[in-house]
Amino acid sequence: MTEQGFTTTRATSIVGISYRQLDYWARTDLVRPSLVDAAGSGSRRLYSYRDLLELRVIKSLLDAGIKLESVRKAFNYMREHMNGDIAAAHLVISGSDVMVCEGGELIDVMNRAGQGVLVNVLALGGVKLSLDQQIRAQDEQESREQRPPTPIASRRAV
């Protein structure tokens, strides 16, 4: 199921960002497609599920009002310190520090917030859930659009 990888257009609609934004992020090394990278005009990028997860996390951070510059720093760190089990972890950003930690350590982190430093917390499990949900929704919609003949008419309505 879910054929190998995601094209840029599928990625944009699943993650909820524009093509230009995704393109810009790829060019500026924020998230490069890990399956197939672009190789000159006319080639096609191909994103992995993991890539989508990262893209979704980034979108969450941006939506929460974090500057892209901070996001870049956070991901430079995250890429080195993530060993698989994303689901239960929390991403914590505090000033220039970034951490990925489990629920228990969270209380710890909150104490650091006492010093007058702002702390950002994002549960990665929740992000993964909503991403999966979105992928399923898109799959359904696509098969609904392709199987019943309802042919060109619906396309022209746009």
Partner DNA sequence: GCTCGTAGTTACGCGCGTGTCATCAGAGCC
Partner DNA sequence: GGCTCTGATGACACGCGCGTAACTACGAGC
Burial class from Cβ neighbours inside 10 Å (0-12, 13-18, 19+) for residue 155 reads: exposed
Q: CB 92 → DNA: shortest distance, Å?
A: 20
Nearer to a copy of itself, 114 or 151 (CB): 114
**3-state DSSP assignment of residue 123:** strand
Burial class from Cβ neighbours inside 10 Å (0-12, 13-18, 19+) for residue 78 reads: buried
Nearer to a copy of itself, 9 or 117 (CB): 117
Q: What are phi and psi of 123, to 5 degrees?
A: -80, 115
Tokens of 69: 């510059």
Residue 143 interacts with DNA (CB under 7 A): yes or no: no
Nearer to DNA, 53 or 62 (CB): 62
Residue 69 interacts with DNA (CB under 7 A): yes or no: yes
Residue 151 interacts with DNA (CB under 7 A): yes or no: no
Q: What are phi and psi of 82, to 5 degrees?
A: -110, 115
Nearer to DNA, 18 or 146 (CB): 18
Residue 20 interacts with DNA (CB under 7 A): yes or no: yes
Residue 96 interacts with DNA (CB under 7 A): yes or no: no
The correct pick among 23, 120, 121, 134 for binding DNA (CB under 7 A) is 23
Compute the half-sphere exposure of residue 17: CA atoms within 13 Å on the CB side of its CA.
22
The correct pick among 2, 16, 44, 85 for binding DNA (CB under 7 A) is 44
The correct pick among 35, 53, 68, 101 for binding DNA (CB under 7 A) is 68
- Interatomic CA distance for residues 20 and 26, integer angstroms: 10
> Which residues contribute to the site for DNA (CB under 7 A)?
7-9, 18-21, 23-28, 38-45, 62, 67-69, 72
